[in-house]
């Protein structure tokens, strides 16, 4: 069901009928992905009919062998019938290969389409989504759930169609041989349906629980097996604790796997017993009819062979609703994420700015991290298959009084350097996040050259703004590749010039592989100062008009700090700069200082003016510069 908020709730639990029911919207959407592979679908359908036809032919060949060739001692006919059996087997095999190739091509294509759409959607989610979601859970949606969706298409749907065609063709062939035994063979169908209904809900819930527990286990692995997580575990000696936590997650996955296997085995055992019951009845009555001369021995054997081709597909069809609904869980989980509304999007009619001058203005800005209720994947976990159809707006927390910023107003002229200072947790980093729209304001506006940033495209904002954060992130790639992330078309000369301006060229060129050196996971093969300088070189290569710098140098050695400070002075020259200041030199060189406390601008002015006022800035100056001459605040 598609509700006003744009969220899907396709599969509901019908308490009265004791089985899952499916919304047609989900099936239409699934088939929409498969529609792009019409050629492969055609091949699959044609091969299903061909395989079913060959399956029907085999018992007829056996019947002719028993009723005609053997009684007449016709060796030539025996030879031809034997060759026919070989040909049927060979034809089934070749056609099966063609069918598998077509279904695999369709399934892998759907995986590609889903992954690309899902990845693209996730890439465009706001920073708040990622701060509220474990990376491992996102990886599980991209991997496990998408593969499960592919298996639903290439497995469940193909098998369902094959079962329908096979059942119909076998029943027609059986009825042509002996209609009374055919009716008797399908008389046990209600037993199949009854059993499938009883186990259907359990299998479906176990499947969803398995996916959730697998996502939790993947999330734990991602957190503890990356470099930062592994370092933390080792430093605090928590190896045994993490072993226990992982064992708990893995144990739940194990138990659910055992439960699913057990339920499934009991189910198929029951189907097997019922199939044996139907076969025994047909054999008994068929033998009586042979003795009475009503049918021939060949007809009875052919009917018995048909039963083997009937009860398998019939079992599948009796459980078709359960199998289909269970397999669609993967599609549900993928669509849950794809349909999550993006809270930061490009405007419908964006303002086109040919050249950014660099004026930045905060106009009565209010912002809250908790204003939208549940965030990340937690926002979709409430919508289970049990029938919850309300959208994300229902039940979410209204904007409360937990404002991170309250009425923040100040401006930065083109080319001006403004330093942000304040106690830890004052809202300095939050303020810088609003300029490139990592988050959107709750009230008020942030403007660049007089234009609300919400009226500009995200691409144009990213092109105009360069950011160097406290924790510089590098990909597990070469130094050159990490620098070219700012400008993929940058030449080697431009890369060397940027590295030189960031005071890192000499170090890079002294490495055995120079710019082709792989920096390792998150750049951990480099020191903190080296990573910071590479991050600065990356911003220099980007050449933005507006710079946002979290000048985190207080934790570095004196030489690295000096090199970074020189690089920062070069990169800020001639650009509009908003700097979270940690050094007295940066504060003194600022055109203006904005002092923030508890999300509010409490003072604005130059260093001398603020000292004369003897307010919060003067207190920070006296208390922190006395013991830490390089820092004011800690950049939070």
First to last CA, the chain: 43
Q: For the residues 150-168, what does the mean pLDDT come to?
A: 79
| pTM, to two decimals | 0.68
Task: Please check the confidence at residue 476 and state whether its pLDDT lies above 50.
Answer: yes
Q: Determine how β-strand 465-468 pairs with β-strand 11-14.
A: unpaired
In our burial notation (b when 16+ CB lie closer than 10 A, e otherwise), range 495-509 reads bbbbbbbbbbbebbe
> Shortest CA distance to 399 belongs to which of 441, 357, 348?
441
Question: In terms of pLDDT, which residue wins out, 267 or 51?
Answer: 51
All structural domains of the chain, each given as residue ranges with its CATH number in brackets, are 22-338 (1.20.1560.10), 412-625 (3.40.50.300)
Residue 46 pLDDT: 92
Task: Please check the confidence at residue 383 and state whether its pLDDT lies above 50.
Answer: no
Residue 198 pLDDT: 67
Residue 320 pLDDT: 67
What sign results for the dihedral spanned by CA atoms 75, 78, 84, 89?
negative
CA dihedral 210, 216, 218, 219 (to 10 degrees): 160
Q: Among residues of the chain, what percentage have pLDDT more than 70?
A: 80
Task: Please check the confidence at residue 207 and state whether its pLDDT lies above 80.
Answer: no
> Distance between CA atoms of 521 and 312, rounded to whole angstroms?
51
> Distance between CA atoms of 57 and 174, rounded to whole angstroms?
11
**What is the three-class DSSP state of 225?**
helix
């Amino acid at each position: 069901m598609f509700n006003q908020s744009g969220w899907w709730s396709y599969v509901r639990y019908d308490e009265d009928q004791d089985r899952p029911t499916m919304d047609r919207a989900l099936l239409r959407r699934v088939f929409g992905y498969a529609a792009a592979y019409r050629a492969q679908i055609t091949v699959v359908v044609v091969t299903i009919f061909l395989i079913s036809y060959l399956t029907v032919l085999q018992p007829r060949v056996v019947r002719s062998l028993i009723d005609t060739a053997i009684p007449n001692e016709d060796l030539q006919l025996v030879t031809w019938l034997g060759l026919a059996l070989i040909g049927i087997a060979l034809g089934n095999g070749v056609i099966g290969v063609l069918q598998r190739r077509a279904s695999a091509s369709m399934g892998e294509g759907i995986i590609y389409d889903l992954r690309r759409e899902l990845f693209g959607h996730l890439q465009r989610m706001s920073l708040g989504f990622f701060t509220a979601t474990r990376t491992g859970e996102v990886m599980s949606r991209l991997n496990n759930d998408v593969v499960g969706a592919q298996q639903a298409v290439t497995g469940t749907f193909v098998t369902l169609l094959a079962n329908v065609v096979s059942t119909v063709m076998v029943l027609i062939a059986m009825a042509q041989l002996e209609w009374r035994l055919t009716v008797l063979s399908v008389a046990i169908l209600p037993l199949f349906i009854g059993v499938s209904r009883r186990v259907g809900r359990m299998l479906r819930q176990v499947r969803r629980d398995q996916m959730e527990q697998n996502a939790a286990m993947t999330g734990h692995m991602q957190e503890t097996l990356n470099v930062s997580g592994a370092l933390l575990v080792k430093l605090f000696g928590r190896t045994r604790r993490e072993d226990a936590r992982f064992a708990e997650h893995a144990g739940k996955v194990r138990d659910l796997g055992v439960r699913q296997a057990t339920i499934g085995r009991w189910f198929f055992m029951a189907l097997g017993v019922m199939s044996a019951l139907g076969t025994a009845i047909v054999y008994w009555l068929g033998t009586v009819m042979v003795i009475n001369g009503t049918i021939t021995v060949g007809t009875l054997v052919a009917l018995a062979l048909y039963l083997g081709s009937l009860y398998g597909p019939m079992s599948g069809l009796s459980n078709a609703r359960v199998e289909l609904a269970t397999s669609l869980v993967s599609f549900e989980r993928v669509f849950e994420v794809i349909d999550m509304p993006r809270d930061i999007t490009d405007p419908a009619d964006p303002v086109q700015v040919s050249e950014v001058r660099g004026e930045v203005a905060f106009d009565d800005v209010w912002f809250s991290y908790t204003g939208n209720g549940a965030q990340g994947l937690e926002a979709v976990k409430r919508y289970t298959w049990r029938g919850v159809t309300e959208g994300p707006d229902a039940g979410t927390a209204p904007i409360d009084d937990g404002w991170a910023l309250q009425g923040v107003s100040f401006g930065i002229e083109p080319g001006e350097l403004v330093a942000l200072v304040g106690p830890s947790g004052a809202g300095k980093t939050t303020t810088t996040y609003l300029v490139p729209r990592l988050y959107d304001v709750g009230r008020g506006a942030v403007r660049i050259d007089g234009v609300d940033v919400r009226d500009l495209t995200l691409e144009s904002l990213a092109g105009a703004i360069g950011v160097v954060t406290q924790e510089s992130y590098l990909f597990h790639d070469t130094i050159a590749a990490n620098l070219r992330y700012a400008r993929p078309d940058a030449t080697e000369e431009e890369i060397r010039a940027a590295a030189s301006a960031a005071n890192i060229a000499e170090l890079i060129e002294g490495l055995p592989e120079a710019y082709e050196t792989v920096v390792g996971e998150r750049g951990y093969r480099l020191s903190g100062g080296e990573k910071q300088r590479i991050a600065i070189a990356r911003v220099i290569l980007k050449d933005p008009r507006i710079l946002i710098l979290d000048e985190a140098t207080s934790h570095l050695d004196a030489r690295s700090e000096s090199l970074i400070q020189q690089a920062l002075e070069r990169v800020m020259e001639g650009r509009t700069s908003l700097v979270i200041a940690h050094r007295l030199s940066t504060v003194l060189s600022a055109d203006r200082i904005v002092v923030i406390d508890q999300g509010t601008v409490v003072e604005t002015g130059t260093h001398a003016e603020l000292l004369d006022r003897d307010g919060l800035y003067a207190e920070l100056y006296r208390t922190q510069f006395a013991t830490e001459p390089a820092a004011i605040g800690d950049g939070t």
